[in-house]
């Protein structure tokens, strides 16, 4: 009896992840590594969500479209059930929550479903 996803499913997930600019943060340790590795002057955006969250699933397309428009910003997403300590540390209280960082410092956050236009306008406004 095989436990876990089949190799074909795992390979497909890997292909999908590499065809997007959005990097999935898989666990709290990866989130900590990310914060230590980012350029202190660079903008980074993280979408906190959950697989069971319908608005989070709906927002995937607009988050992807925004990532394709802003090549100078790193886009990440994480599932709060996979990164509970990170979600608690950043005080994530509603989903989806999208947080904009410069280096490892939070600059701004938006709660709720956002269109790609809203994400791009928010990013541009936060630069000023």
Chain segment 24-78, per-residue pLDDT in tens: 999 999 998 888 888 889 999 999 999 999 999 999 999 999 999 999 999 999 9
Tokens of 72: 């100078």
DSSP-assigned beta bridge partners for residue 25: 78
Average pLDDT over the chain, rounded to an integer? 85
Domain locations along the chain = 22-127
Domain 22-127, what architecture? 3-Layer(aba) Sandwich (3.40)
Burial class (CB in 10 A: 0-12, 13-18, 19+), 86: buried
- pLDDT band of residue 8 (cuts 50, 70, 90) is very low
């Amino acid at each position: 009896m095989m436990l876990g996803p089949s190799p074909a499913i795992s390979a497909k997930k890997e292909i999908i992840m590499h065809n997007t600019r959005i990097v999935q943060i898989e666990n709290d340790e990866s989130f900590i590594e990310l914060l230590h590795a980012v350029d202190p002057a660079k903008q980074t955006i993280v979408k906190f969500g959950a697989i069971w969250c319908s608005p989070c699933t709906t927002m995937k397309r607009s988050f992807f479209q925004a990532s394709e428009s802003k090549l100078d910003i790193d886009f990440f997403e994480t599932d709060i059930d996979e990164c509970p300590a990170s979600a608690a540390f950043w005080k994530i209280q509603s989903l989806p929550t999208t947080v904009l960082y410069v280096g490892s410092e939070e600059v701004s956050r938006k709660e709720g479903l956002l269109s790609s236009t809203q994400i791009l306008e928010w990013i541009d406004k936060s630069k000023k």
